[in-house]
Chain A
């Protein structure tokens, strides 16, 4: 809001600017779902107050999520796309920028045009808009550190650890100087059932900051470190099992049979192989709405198909990720759309002026996720024309352990 106020953004410009800001946040935190939820909760109401069209605005938020999910070095789809194609994440992100920008520029223009021409709601009366704290923008620093370090070729564990450390220090300082309502216990907290020992530790200096006393039934560990890690446990287990299933298919001969069929009937030239890869990823992602799971399942085929034609790791990774990222936020049953929709449904309760008919129907937003569509188009065109096609001889991707 601070940035938006400063630029005096009107209802016409709001979707385009939201697309940029959402894209920025999503690229920083790597989760399109998280960006969608955050923006729907905080930016969406503000936009409606200015009179922005709700469907267009939701489409802009989802587009930003696609952008970040596609490009961010810490995005799970980006990581899977790089790892399964034996390419280093930094190199993948650097090579992907041109496709992302090629889609983002027309998308931004489309949001400007649509923002100016689509009918808007009447600006809601009665609530003033106060300036939010600008301190939050400081969090772009750890984000920039992670992106910069990863692109420079450092190991992803190192890059993210640096970002984590700076984010932690930033949080502690912001909390200590009372600039933002955050503290060490938001990063890590031990919620222990009451006992003599626990009470003593709770009041102790330093360690007391991470200890809280709670009723016995509510004991647990919490904080951002905990939530962030635990959130991925199911996906990690799923990945292990999918890879096990793939191994069975390989050792049983099924993988080779399917591959031979694809190469014989469909993917007979480089161009046809790439188009098959683009359409194949689109199809599987349209059916399996948890896009990371779909991506892991398709990855071996992209890898073998691509390598048969000497397409290098970066190109394969980019083809794999594009439709995976895009489609999760387009179809009404996509995980990203549903995440935003559930956040939106809480808004009528939060804001008195937010009426139920301001909530966007997921089935209505799909034409307006401009960046998603343009990304699909960019890769289809790239496969047909050969734009950005890289062979192993052009540039060898770094080994995956450099990831």
Chain B
């Protein structure tokens, strides 16, 4: 079987944290708390807000790094350039364009609602 390119790569404890392996969970941990607070508690469905949460999480992990912070930054780059992220991005972009083009073509006209009197034309709001 082929070498899998994705999530498992980069094994090994090349990053040391004050607080041991548990401290390496700080970035993701902060993100989860943020996500639960923003979307669960406050009810804000803003994905860009979650981006900020993850950024804050990544910064929050910095003070715990033992040694050169450059290894931490390198881990960020290595993570971001994994094939998983790129494949998902490509798939989403294409799927998004497709879904919107279908909807623009007024497939919704097949589902038009009834008119409100006194208007006589069906009210089809296209999305």
Contacts and interface: CB of A to CB of B under 8 A. Distances in A.
A143 interface: yes
Interface string B40-67: 1001010110110011011001000000
Interface in A217-245: 223-225, 227-229, 231-232, 234-245
A1 B84 CA distance: 41
A229 B7 contact: no
Given A28-B102, A39-B111, A174-B105, A228 B97 contact: yes
21 contacts: A1-B114, A74-B99, A76-B88, A79-B87, A127-B116, A130-B112, A157-B90, A157-B94, A163-B98, A224-B100, A224-B101, A238-B54, A241-B80, A245-B27, A247-B76, A249-B24, A249-B27, A251-B14, A252-B16, A255-B24, A333-B39
Contact of A25 (B12, B32, B101, B107): B107
B85 A258 contact: no
Given A74-B98, A247-B82, A171 B105 contact: yes
A132 B106 CA distance: 11
Interface in B3-19: 4-8, 10-17
Contacts of A180: 105-106, 109
Top-10 shortest CB links A-B: A252-B24, A247-B79, A136-B110, A253-B21, A228-B100, A132-B112, A228-B96, A244-B79, A254-B24, A224-B100
Contacts of B85: 236, 239-240, 243
A130 B120 CA distance: 9
Greatest chain A CB density within 10 A among B47, B78, B88, B108 is at B88
A229 B97 contact: yes
Contacts of A181: 106, 126
Contact of B21 (A127, A246, A252): A252
A245 B101 contact: no
B51 A234 contact: yes
Nearest to A225: B97
Given A42-B111, A139-B105, A245 B57 contact: yes
B79 A170 contact: no
A254 to B, nearest CB: 4
A132 B25 CA distance: 54
Contact of B23 (A254, A256, A351): A254
A46 B50 CA distance: 37
Contact of B124 (A75, A132, A229): A132
B118 to A, nearest CB: 10
Contacts, number: 346
Contacts of B123: 350
B104 A290 contact: no
Contacts of B40: 287-289, 333
Greatest chain A CB density within 10 A among B27, B72, B95 is at B95
Interface stretch (A110-118, A208-216, A371-379, A395-403): A395-403
Contacts of B107: 25, 136-137, 139-140
Contacts of B124: 42, 132
B94 A333 contact: no
* Residues of B contacting A: mostly: helix
Contacts of A171: 101, 104-105
Contacts of B115: 127-128, 130
A245 to B, nearest CB: 4
A299 B85 CA distance: 12
Contact of A228 (B10, B22, B77, B101): B101
A137 B122 CA distance: 17
A257 interface: yes
A34 B103 contact: yes
Given A157-B90, A248-B79, A287-B35, 17 more contacts: A1-B114, A38-B108, A41-B113, A45-B114, A128-B114, A130-B112, A130-B114, A142-B98, A160-B97, A227-B100, A232-B89, A236-B88, A243-B80, A255-B24, A289-B45, A403-B87, A403-B91
Contact of A241 (B21, B55, B89, B104): B55
A364 interface: no
A321 interface: no
A247 B78 contact: yes
Contacts of B99: 29-31, 34, 74, 228
Interface string A110-148: 000000000000000011111011111101101100100
A257 B58 CA distance: 20
